[in-house]
Amino acid sequence: MNTRLFPIMLASAALLMAGCTVGPKFVPPVPPQAPAFKEQPPESFKASQEWQPARPGDQKIRGAWWEMFGDPQLDALEDQLTASNQDLKVAEARLRAARAAIRFNRSGLFPTISTSPSVDNERVSAHQPYFPAFEANNGTGNYSLPFDLSYEVDLWGRVRRTINASREEAQATAADLATASLSLHAELAIDYFELRSADAQKQLLDDTVRAYADALQLTRNRFEGGVAPKSDVAQAQTQLDEARVQDTDITEARAEYEHAIATLIGLPPASFSLPPAPQTPMRLPVIPVGLPSTLLERRPDIAADERRVAEANEQIGIARAAYFPALTIGATGGFEGTTVTNWLNWPSRLWAVGPQLSETLFDAGRRHATSEAAQANYDGTVAAYRQTTLNAFQEVEDNLAALRILEQEAAQQHQATASAQESLQLFTNRYQGGVDNYLQVITAQTIALADERNDIDIQRRRIDASVLLVKAVGGGWDTSQLPRY
């Protein structure tokens, strides 16, 4: 082939490489929208320190959001989770695999070059027919060093769309990693606060058991003095025994939370323990909520679904490219000789180059089915994206409502607990003065204990709702943290 044809061939190849891209251009799907969250605080609660809607200029949640709760023990556990949680390592490994897939697909933009050097000798059968006959059994030797090149020209954008699809998947996987991290850190925070709530319940029940033991001793003294009937002693004993049962039962729940924390930070439960530290009332952190529209950029799970919609759009284009012919440029070059001495001589060179065009003429509807499947998958990812958005709105609304209502409930419960304590003191004094029977004291004790336990439980629920609200608004994450590939 005349070497002057090479520039023409290279120019033609460059034009072909530009090609065109078939299939739809990606347009982000329209998500469900709302002008504001429904659960806005009433006027009397807008000054609340528990939470407030974010306003322009408000500082967003940043980085280690759990530090807002001001608990050094929780901070240390969260850091251990970041370093040692196995589920987080699984998500990180998936991200590395997705990045490798980009490099794999990007290699399709370049030719594949291979070589297969060989040295062989051949003796043919003496009984094989030859023309002319005197060539019979003329054995040959061959030394070859070929280099083969194969390159598929991306005429219709199949390779480029494959690369784009892998990029979208890698970004979605990065968002999955952020979602896993946010969920695991939130789960640890909730388990930790549940454990501390159990510690507070245990301390309350320990104090209650001691108080009931003192009450039992009082009724025994009164019975022995002939002032109180035997039934008072039986009632006081029953009340004490029931309190001991509750006191023992709370340790089972605490053990489960401790085991869960150990697993989250990558330790076997047998090698981990947290000393009791009863939860004290705390001021809940201010959590900037923002508008529903900003939530779309702050939730990693929404971002992951949006990227997978883009990936599904690329798959539609890949499926459509299969309807068009594929152009492959093949080339072979190298050296071939009959002996070692002439193997690599210039006259021993060989080469061949040429394009190959291939087109499927009949496939019994295979490409059509593939295109339909790609379109259906796209529709499904759009629906999943919108459903994830709706779920995110619901989670924010649920926890805004929980914080607003629980703030009112906490104030009411504090009042109820104070009233119950006052009532218990009054009935105890009246019983000691011989005015009332012990049943009144038992009733007041039961009510006071229930109110005190509910006080602790409401505090726990408020903290849990705060953690879940942080999680619902993305924990300080936003789409700017997505890697660019």
Pairing of strands 140-153, 112-115: antiparallel
- 272, part of any domain: yes
> Both tokens of residue 63?
């980085």
Statement: residue 10 has pLDDT above 60: no
pLDDT, residue 437, reads 86
pLDDT at residue 485 above 90? no
Residues in the chain, total: 485
High-pLDDT (> 90) share of the chain, %? 63
Q: Is 127 domain-assigned?
A: no
**Does residue 105 form part of some domain?**
no
- Stated as kind and residue range, the H or E segment containing 445 is helix 438-472
How many CB atoms are located within 10 Å of the residue 334 CB?
Answer: 17
> Residue written as tokens 């009931």?
212
Residues contacting residue 89 through CB under 8 Å, at least 6 positions apart: none
Strands (E), 263-398: 326-337, 349-358
343 confidence band (pLDDT: 50, 70, 90)? confident
Q: Which of 6-10, 188-192, 297-301 has the lowest mean pLDDT?
A: 6-10
Residue 296 lies in a domain: yes
For residue 117, give the nearest of 378, 336, 375, 431 by alpha carbon.
336
Indicate the pLDDT class of residue 344, thresholds 50, 70 and 90: confident
Residues 6+ apart with CB under 8 A from 201: 250, 453, 456
**Which contiguous run of DSSP H or E holds residue 148?**
strand 140-153
Say how many domains are in the chain: 1
- Cβ atoms within 10 A of the Cβ of 155, count? 20
The Cα 280–Cα 70 span in angstroms is 12
- CA 462 from chain center: how many Å? 24
The pLDDT tens digits for 302-326 are 999 999 999 999 999 999 999 999 9
Give residue-wise pLDDT tens across range 165-177.
999 999 999 999 9
Residue 36 lies in a domain: yes
For residue 325, say if its preceding peptide bond is cis, omega within 30 degrees of 0. no
Secondary-structure breakdown of the chain: helix, strand, coil percentages, each rounded to the nearest 5: 65, 10, 25
Residue 412 belongs to a domain with what CATH number?
1.20.1600.10
User: Residue 53 falls within a domain, yes or no?
Assistant: yes
To the question of pTM greater than 0.75 for the whole model, the response is yes
Percentage of the chain surpassing pLDDT 70? Answer: 86
Residue 253 lies in a domain: yes
**Cβ–Cβ < 8 Å for 428, 447:** no
Full domain range(s) for residue 34: 20-84+167-324+366-481
pLDDT per residue over 141-151, tens digit each? 678 889 999 99
Note whether residue 9 is domain-resident: no
Report helix, strand or coil for 362.
Answer: coil
User: Environment class of residue 242 by beta-carbon count within 10 Å: exposed (0-12), middle (13-18) or buried (19+)?
Assistant: middle
Question: What's the whole-number mean pLDDT along residues 452-456?
Answer: 94
Average of per-residue pLDDT values in the chain? 87
User: Whole-angstrom Cα distance, residue 336 to residue 466?
Assistant: 76
Is residue 318 within 8 Å of 161, Cβ to Cβ? yes
Burial 376-388 (b: 16+ CB within 10 A, else e): ebbeebbeebbeb
Cβ atoms of 441 and 424 closer than 8 Å:
yes
**8 Å CB contact between 218 and 115:** no
Q: What is the pLDDT of residues 357-408, one digit of tens each?
A: 899 999 999 999 999 999 999 999 999 999 999 999 999 999 999 999 999 9
- Pairing type for strands 118-122 and 112-115 reads unpaired
Of 457, 315, 465, nearest to 381 (Cα)?
A: 315
